Each structure stands twice: as structure tokens, then as C-alpha cells.
Amino acid sequence: MIRVTVWNEFRHEKEMPEVAAIYPNGIHGAIADFLSKNEDMTVRTATLDEPEHGLTDEVLNNTDVLLWWGHMAHQEVSDEVVAKVCQRVNDGMGFIALHSAHASKPFSRLLGTRTDMLRWREDGDMQRLWVTSPGHPIAQGIGDYFEVPHDETYGEQFFIPQPDNLVFISWHPGGEVFRSGCCFVRGGRIFYFQPGHETFPVYYQKEIQTVITNAVRWAAPLYMPAYSTGWQKSVEPIHTYEDK
């Protein structure tokens, strides 16, 4: 059973009626809805304005895969919670950064670059996502490509380290391309997935749900080593210099 926590900033939905109309239970609610239909997942949610942003030790220690959506309030996420999230990823927890979470603190901290740097255009253009790693678990059930009819456009240069695996590249009518599905490993597995601006019903689209569901299964750790609990012991030397 994969223990999933969907974290959402949950501000746009409360402040902008047009967003609330699309996501009446929040973006986290919409994502939790389709994920919880999978028999191998138990899903909970957490949001910025809860105590400790909903990410208590109890919650983090019982999360296998954490999804993260944030946009307007990245700076309000406490450094203490960010440190705990990153430590938990180092320990093996999967982390899936969605759309504008490219600029979130934990994603940037885990990758080590200014991940907030990219081009963007907010005019509801379409995007076509090409699969560049056919056979990768995250691309299962997707053909050679699929399209999101309306979303915010992101464009290179996306300032990330070279991904361990590049699963999707997006094409945009305006002339932009974007590395829209990127895998990284930092102890636990990390997936970045571009689509999902708050003003479009992207998370209701079937292919989007397929990719996120696949990503949760891919990112789920097989076991959780307890790195954080202590140092590794030195091994008893088989030989040392003196016995040469």
C-alpha cells in the first residue's frame, strides 16, 4: 500500500472565484480524488495554512510519496518544514513537483539550482507532450504523445541539473519547448511534471491522471533506510597499511 500525501498551497482556490469554480475542493482535492481510486494507494492531503503546513512528523513519517503544488506563497513555507521534507526525500520518500512547484523551496533545495528560472506565457495555449523515454514506467498507457488543450506555457531554459531520465518534452505553438517530465534521484525518487495551471481543469484530464498515477507508483520507495538516525559504522579493516 502506497501512502500518498497531496500537498497544496490552497490559496488561489480561496481567493479567486474562477479557480474555486474549477477546483471546488482545491487542487489537492482533485488530485486526491483520482489517486484514491487506486487500490494500492491510501491518500491524504495537507495544505499551507494548516499547523506545520499539515506536514507534521507523524504525517511525513507515514508518507511514501509526497505531491507538491504551490505558486503564490512559496516563501511562506517554513524552512524547518522544507528541511524535514528534504531529509525525508533523502531517506527514500518519493517527491512529485507539479507545475509551478518548479519554484518551490523543497524542489529547488533538492536539485541544487535556481529552478525558478524559466520562460512563461499565461494565455491558455495548448501544449503537446512528447514521450522521449518510451518504456519508462511513467509513460505507460500514453502513446507517443498527448495534448493538454489549454494551460500556461513554460519554455526553456529551465534551469535544472541534467535529469536522470527525461520522460516528456513539451511542444508549444508559440515556439517554446520544455523538459516537462523529468526524473531525478536524491535518495528518494523525484519527478517534475509541467502541466497544471490553476485556471484550467488540467487535473481532470485522463492522460494527466495516468501520468501522475504512474509517477506515484514509480516514486514509491521499496524500503526506507534510516539514514537520518545515525552515522554508518566503520567496517572492521581486513588489512591495514602496517601489515603490508
The size of the interface with a second copy (CB under 8 A), counted in residues, is 76
**24 lies in the binding site for a second copy (CB under 8 A):** no
Segment contacting a second copy by CB under 8 A, of 39-47, 96-104, 174-182, 200-208: 174-182
Residues 175-204 that bind a second copy (CB under 8 A): 175-177, 179, 184-188
In 3D space, the residue among 204, 209, 196, 211 whose CA is nearest the CA of residue 35 turns out to be 209
Q: How far is the CB of 187 from a second copy (least distance, A)?
A: 6
**161 lies in the binding site for a second copy (CB under 8 A):** yes
Give whichever of 43 and 138 is closer to a second copy, judged by the CB atom: 138
Segment contacting a second copy by CB under 8 A, of 31-39, 50-58, 63-71, 156-164: 156-164
Q: How far is the CB of 26 from a second copy (least distance, A)?
A: 27
**207 lies in the binding site for a second copy (CB under 8 A):** no
Residues 90-149 that bind a second copy (CB under 8 A): 90, 92, 109-114, 117-121, 123-126, 128, 130-135, 137, 140, 144-145, 149
Residues 60-99 that bind a second copy (CB under 8 A): 86-87, 90, 92
Q: Report the C-alpha gap between 221 and 91 in whole angstroms.
A: 9
**1 lies in the binding site for a second copy (CB under 8 A):** no
Q: How far is the CB of 171 from a second copy (least distance, A)?
A: 5
**3 lies in the binding site for a second copy (CB under 8 A):** no
**227 lies in the binding site for a second copy (CB under 8 A):** yes
